[in-house]
Structure 1
Amino acid sequence: MSLTSQFVQNLKRFRLVTFDVTDTLLRLEEPMRHYQQKAADCGVTGVDRGQLERCFRQQFSALSREHPNFGSQSPDLDWQQWWMQLVSRTFTCVDDRLTPEQLAKIGHCLISHFRTNACWTHIEGARELVQHVRAAGKCVGVISNFDPSLSQVLAAMGYAGKFDFVLTSYEAGVMKPDSRIFNKALQRMSIPAEQALHIGNKLDMDYVGARNSGWSGLLVDDEERTDSDSRHTFASVSLLLQALDTQEIQW
């Protein structure tokens, strides 16, 4: 792989580059369509997708308040049970006549399904960006608010062996933008914060979280903002890669 001299120069100060996953490297493809289809596979048909989405959002917010970070700090509740509860509560919200057996069957099916390549698509330019960073000789990692199945998802999408580590919020015990998750990544690689760069799509969790932890940050966000540094904000991963290849980035 041929790297431009500008790309190498832009990353010269960094020894570690980390990535967010959802909507930075990968995108979930119509998740409620998969919920609807897998329910039908389990014999539950006629589920209204609009109502399903409303119930999912409501129950996800409620469960996240009751048991934050996929239940990582909740006794007797692991991440799989957390998702099982979410699926059960979501479908009960849609139809309270469903039996516990039906809800459990749907839940197990969905947990397995969402760890495959059937539900995810690649963000344009993301694989190339990761490859460029690796080719530049950097340590490359993932920092994501996710459950421990993330490595399985990444492997299913062709990212097996592409990262030096994958750090999820569940395993770290804290979620971005908490500085402790960024610090854990530094400790793993014995790298100081000023030599670390994080790339993600959430202003508060990724860009601000990284910078408040002493890191540099790049933000992928196609909305016009006045609360982020325009030097570090790009409308897409492809444009971010193009800028690293061709423009001097002022850190």
Structure 2
Amino acid sequence: MPLTEQFVRNLQRFRLVTFDVTDTLIKLKDPVTQYLQTAAACGVRDINRTNFERCFRQQFKLMSEQHSNFGCHTIGWQNWWRQLVINTFNCADATVPQDKLPAIAEHLLNVFRTSACWSHVDCAADLVQCVRGIGKSVGVISNFDASLPKVLKAMDFDDKFDFVLTSYEAGVMKPDPSIFEIPVKMLSIEPNQALHIGNKFDMDYIGARQSGWSSLLVQSQFEPATSEEARRHSYPSIAQMLYALEFEEINW
């Protein structure tokens, strides 16, 4: 797509632009349905969806507290997800046959690394391509396990980035400044020459700003903690962010 002069001017000061992934570039289709359908295919049926959703949130929080960053310093990301699956099903229904759970967990571990569980965020690929088109280094900084490159490949993003940096690889999660320091050092640039685009006020916007970067935020509804400054750099969608970059002057 043709690039406007305004788009070039808005990003002129930056040498690097990075993106968050989940709900910024791609989004999960319906993870609970995928869990329950997988269980049914393995012979485990009639799990109450409301209970399951509640248990998933509860168990995800517990696993994150006990084995932070997808278990990168403890049990490893594959075992982290396997244990989360088993714990969630046991919480949702104590009568689930235990011999079925390993197979359910293994199938889910694989299927969530494919395009079956993900869809593209509208205009996200266009925005990435526009940034690449004006000669910027383009990367990913995401709180994600080590399988992210596989997911991006499945979603046809594998050749769009100069690097993919996960919190698992970095050993720390956003908003820790250490994760933002890695690409800056790698490219030998100053923090004020970097821009990060994401959908979480604390992890993406504040994390980047406190590391000396600029940041843009995509939020369809503002989180309660979102500051007035962040609201000036926020857009309801990636499509509207792209439009603003193309036709409006951004005050960094």
Q: Which residue does the alignment assign to 1:100?
A: 98
State the distance in 1 between where 2:92 and 2:232 align: 45
TM-score (norm 1): 0.96
More displaced stretch, 24-33 vs 184-193 = 184-193
Q: Which amino acid is 2:194 matched to?
A: A
Q: Which amino acid is 1:45 matched to?
A: R
Q: Which residue does the alignment assign to 1:37?
A: 37
For 1:197, what is the secondary structure of its paired residue? strand
1:1-251 correspondence to structure 2 within 5 Å: 1-74=1-74, 77-224=75-222, 227-229=227-229, 230-251=231-252
Judge conservation of contact 1:203–1:228 (CA < 8 Å) in 2.
no
Shift of 1:96: 2.0
Shift of 1:24: 0.5
Shift of 1:203: 0.3
Judge conservation of contact 1:27–1:121 (CA < 8 Å) in 2.
yes
Q: Which amino acid is 2:49 matched to?
A: R
State the distance in 2 between where 1:231 and 1:22 align: 22
Judge conservation of contact 1:63–1:86 (CA < 8 Å) in 2.
yes
More displaced stretch, 43-52 vs 193-202 = 43-52
Q: 5+ unaligned residues in a row in structure 2: which ranges?
A: none
For 1:160, what is the secondary structure of its paired residue? coil
Q: Which amino acid is 1:84 matched to?
A: R
State the distance in 2 between where 1:139 and 1:185 align: 10
Shift of 1:222: 2.0
Q: 5+ unaligned residues in a row in structure 1: which ranges?
A: none
Q: Which amino acid is 2:40 matched to?
A: A
Judge conservation of contact 1:231–1:249 (CA < 8 Å) in 2.
no
* Per-residue deviation, residues 80-132 of structure 1 (Å, max 9, x unmatched): 00000000000011122334331100000001010000111111110100010
**Identity across matched positions, percent:** 56
State the distance in 2 between where 1:105 and 1:228 align: 48
* Per-residue deviation, residues 191-224 of structure 1 (Å, max 9, x unmatched): 2101000000000000010000000000001224
Shift of 1:51: 1.1
Shift of 1:190: 1.9
Q: Mark the CA change 1:200 to 1:228 in structure 2 (over 3 Å): closer, same or farther.
A: farther
Q: Which amino acid is 2:243 matched to?
A: Q
State the distance in 2 between where 1:244 and 1:143 align: 21
Instruction: Report how many residues are paired.
Output: 249
